[in-house]
Structure formats: C-alpha cells, structure tokens
Amino acid sequence: MKTRTERIMEALKGRGISQMLVVDPMSIYYMTGVYVEPFERFFALLLRENGGHVLFLNNLFTISEEVGLKKVWYSDTDPVMDYVKEYIDSSSVLGVDKDIKARFLLPLIEAKAAAGFVNSSLAIDLTRGVKDEEEQEKMRTSSKINDQAMACFKALVKEGVTEKEIADQTLEIYRKLGAEDFSFAPIVSFGANAADPHHMPDDTVLKAGDAVLFDVGCIKDGYCSDMTRTFCYKEVSEKNREIYELVRRANEAAIAKIKPGVPLCELDKTARDIITEAGYGEYFNHRLGHFIGLGEHEYGDVSLTNETKAEPGMIFSIEPGIYLPGDTGVRIEDLVLVTENGVEVLNHYSKELEVIEA
C-alpha cells in the first residue's frame, strides 16, 4: 500500500502538485486498505508531499485502528470542511478528485483554502491502470473463477428456460466458487436480444437456433473479472457461424498484437478492420475494450482515439462484437495483462463455437 501511495505522490510531483484531496472510495482503498461507503457523508484522504497524509472520517464509519495514518473524526453536526482546511497548505495549489461533490469543494474555494484548485485525478487513474504483482495475481484468481462459472452457466441452458431464470442463479454459483459478488449485473441474452450489447435479462424463452450470450463477471478479494462467450442453441445458421468466426478472428488478432509500446488505438483498429472488411463494420458499435481492476470499468479504454501505449501491468478487455438488430449478436471478450514481452490472456474458457444440445 505504501508503494502505491509513493507512486501516486511521484505522479503528482510530476504535475507540479504537492497536495491532493482524494474522495473516491476505491482510490482510498487502493492506497490504504480502508474501504468505506460514505453515501452522502464526507470521506477523504488528503495526500501531502511531506508524507503526513490525513484521513477524514465520520464517527459512523468503522475502520481498523491499525491504519497508519493521522485520522480526523467528525460528527454529522460538525463543520467538517473547516477541519479539512486546517490541514491544507494555503500557499500551494490543491489537487482535487474528479468525483468530489460541489457542496464539499465550493466551501474550500470560497475560503481560499489553497492557492488554486486543479483536477489531478489522472495521477491516480494512470497509476491504478498499471497493476502491481499482488493485483495481477488477484486478477488471475478472479478470472479463474469466472472461467469455472461460465461452464456452470452453460449447463443451465436448456429448452424452455428464460434469460431471467438463468441470471437469477448466477450469484449463488459465483459464491459457491469462492467469489464475493458480481462485478456487474450479468447479461444473459437469447436470439435477437444478443444484438443489444447491454441487454438486461428478461422473460424471453430460449428457442432452437438462438444465440446465447453471457457477459459476466465476479469480485474476488476486491478485484473484478469480466468475460463474454456466445453459444448457439441446438443449431447454428451459416450467417451465425460466419459472424461468430469473424468476431473470434478479430478478438485473437487484436490480442496477438499486444506488447509493450503498441498504441491501444492500433488494437482497436486491428479488430475493427477485420470486421469492417467483411462488411459488418457498422454493426461493431462500441470501443474494443476497457480497463479493469478494483472497478469493473476503470479509467482508460482501448479505442480508436486512445494513443496511450501499452505498458507492462496494464489489464484491459478485448471484446469485439457484431450486432444485427432484430436478428442476433455475437461478442467474445477476454481480459488481458500486458507483460514485459507480450501478453497474458487471463481467461481460458474455450473460444471454439459451441452448440448446446440440451
């Protein structure tokens, strides 16, 4: 945890910032191991270049006394921003979190608590985007559970079942496999519903010839997994087979290109060109991927506009898709870890086209 905070302080220093007020609970957890869901109350970590960091806590919050930080407690009736102001260097600019609420920030601005206020979230976002060894191992474990869960979900596919009936069983399966919770609400889509990338499970009944799309993920030890696999039920048309193999080829081609120094936009272009050249470009209507870790969608993406270069420790999704409105859809998604020499795919569930016969 100390090393993570030091990395963030170095990033702030590189931006000419000596202090920052962090309010994102996941970022505070990342640096301290303390997680609080504050709801409407103020919860923050003030980072200071002298190392005298301060954690601001409401009396209703419960944390371990072993946290090696100065703690400032307040009650619901206390003027908490007056307390915060006391610890800010008024002669220096204050970096602020992009998530800070106006009702907390404005009193500091009005009181001239700092020489200026700047959004410094990138110092944290970019640091969190490069996972350390402990995080990488936790991401492997979470994805391993997701692989196991996918096999269990596939076994639920049978004649007469609805999307919602399957979705309602997924959390119990995850917990039996050792996960704590969903990383996001599961997407279970049959047939034409698979053409909606964010379709939520409903009472649609499975029928022969349907695509069966699972976009699912869990949380293990605080870290998220995310994977999509698309199956066919009982039979597969030539068109469905064609678009499946196109999406698979796009997925594998983008992954094969990953290594340190490759711009992320080139990964998106590699996958998109394969789909576009086959005549389905307009039906691939989202970016290729997103970063992931403590959050299911973290800062950073794999898109045509992101020229950031791949760096060892980055973990993001590769998830091309083809969506034919009113007909069918296919998406194949893996999480990948950029290594010193190339890439490690964190998902190991097969990407061969599977026809479910149950």
**For residue range 221-269, what is the model confidence (pLDDT) as tens digits?**
999 999 999 999 999 999 999 999 999 999 999 999 999 999 999 999 9
pTM for this model (two decimals) = 0.96
Q: Are 336 and 292 a contacting pair, CB within 8 Å? A: no
Structure tokens at 132: 């350390």
- Sign of the C-alpha dihedral computed for residues 17, 21, 26 and 30 taken in this order: positive
Mean pLDDT across the stretch 260-289?
A: 98
What would you report as the CA-atom Rg of the chain, rounded to the nearest whole angstrom? 23
Residue 137 pLDDT > 90: yes
Split at pLDDT 50, 70, 90, the class of 68 is confident
Q: Are strands 93-96 and 70-74 parallel, antiparallel or unpaired?
A: unpaired
Q: How far apart are CA 146 and CA 131, in angstroms?
A: 19
pLDDT band at 24 (very low <50, low <70, confident <90, very high): very high
Q: Is 311 exposed, middle or buried (0-12, 13-18, 19+ CB in 10 A)?
A: middle
Nearest to 243 by CA among 331, 355, 349: 331
Question: Residue 186 has what pLDDT?
Answer: 98
User: Tens digit of pLDDT for each residue in 143-164?
Assistant: 999 999 999 999 999 999 999 9
Q: Is the pLDDT of residue 18 over 70?
A: yes
Residue-wise DSSP of 284-344: --S-SEEE-SSSSSEEEEESTT--PBP-TTBEEEE--EEEETTTEEEE-BEEEEE-SSSEE
The tokens for 194 are 């698979």
- Helix (H) / strand (E) containing 9: helix 2-14
117, containing H or E segment? strand 116-119
Instruction: Assign 66 a pLDDT band (cuts: 50, 70, 90).
Output: confident
Token output for 57: 């806590």
Residue located via tokens 């050249």: 277
> Which pLDDT band, with edges at 50, 70 and 90, does 206 fall under?
very high
Phi first, then psi: give them for residue 63, nearest 5 degrees: -140, 165
Which residue from 99, 98, 128, 121 is spatially nearest to 291, judged by alpha carbons?
128
Question: Average pLDDT in the 179-194 region?
Answer: 98
Residue 177 has pLDDT above 80, yes or no: yes
Element (H, E) at 182: strand 181-182
Q: How confident is the model at residue 2 (pLDDT cuts 50, 70, 90)?
A: confident
- Please, are residues 108 and 89 in contact by the beta-carbon 8 Å criterion? no
Rounded-to-integer distance, Cα 108 and Cα 122, Å: 21
pLDDT at 1: 66
